[in-house]
Copies of this chain bind each other. A is one copy, B any other.
């Protein structure tokens, strides 16, 4: 199977002519027309040097996750998904891998009305590079995008869903802890097929002051908001930590865990686990009802875990309000 056959076979959809996607797969560039009078031409190429590599992850889940992590960035921006490009380096054109990969990818794309508009395929060690495009309205000259830089002293700090589940699954896969199978299966879904919080991101436009998605760990990603907003924060680690514990409890699995588990494990995974793809955001205290309404309309749980301070730095406290030392470093690809 050749490169063009591969694109034709697995990634080309029936053409959908919309006002915005003026031209999709099959030319040098894709053309987006976000507004009358102009278009954006978009192209994606990949250069690879490498050796053969056999992927071990279920390709359907990998397809889902590849797009999910990108949609999560749109969600954190309050952007409505529009389209994406896919650059794919593959050791070989393997149908048994490609078909489920494309299915997983396109199922999530369809669920979000996000159209694959172009990309590149090449031979090389397995590498998936997606660029996604979303739309944000500009109202009275002001962008509705949720930025990292908008947090204000006094804001409440929230996180969506549960954090730490992906890390729990990873630790089980690594053999460092064991949990009941039902808990592992549910945690593994969070690791392998995360749900991008697009609906929540859209619902928070005009409500949240700042947002980021939790990909490298809650505290590490919070650090970006604090730095770019020029503020500090106080986080209740036990409220944040119960998020992952609550998940296990809700499955009725409490008390069945491996002896290696300790409160410090929970805290570490919830605060620095990474790969959660939840939204971490701030909003004025006056917006608590609006945040609750956004959570409800988007069918996403949201938990208030602390507040933004004028004083710089990050302060951790426990359920009793006592200071907790911060030994929960974030993930860094090159550390």
Contact = CB atoms under 8 A, between A and B. Distances in A.
Nearest to A128: B47
A62 interface: yes
Interface string A265-294: 000000000000000000000000000000
Nearest to A331: B3
A45 interface: yes
A260 interface: no
Nearest to A89: B127
B49 A125 contact: yes
Contact of A129 (B44, B74, B149): B44
Interface in A20-39: 22-23, 26-29, 31-39
Nearest to A334: B93
Counting chain A residues whose Cβ lies within 8 A of the other chain, the interface size class is: 35 or more
Contact of A41 (B28, B45, B89, B135): B135
Contacts of A31: 77, 136, 143, 145
B145 A39 contact: yes
A149 B29 contact: no
A15 to B, nearest CB: 12
A47 B212 contact: no
Interface in A118-142: 120-138, 141
A147 interface: yes
Interface string A157-197: 00000000000000000000000000000000000000000
Contact of A138 (B29, B33, B48, B212): B33
B125 A42 contact: no
A248 interface: no
A51 B52 CA distance: 9
A53 interface: yes
Contact of A128 (B46, B121, B147): B46
Interface string A43-69: 111111111010111000010011001
Interface stretch (A79-87, A250-258, A316-324): A79-87
B26 A148 contact: yes
Contacts of A130: 44-45
A70 interface: yes
A148 B49 contact: no
Given A27-B149, A334-B123, A38 B49 contact: no
Given A42-B132, A53-B125, A87-B129, 4 more contacts: A34-B39, A36-B141, A38-B135, A39-B136
Cβ-closest 5 pairs across A and B: A50-B125, A129-B129, A41-B79, A43-B73, A35-B35
16 contacts: A6-B334, A28-B73, A29-B76, A29-B77, A29-B79, A32-B40, A36-B141, A39-B137, A41-B145, A43-B70, A45-B130, A46-B129, A48-B125, A49-B53, A49-B55, A85-B131
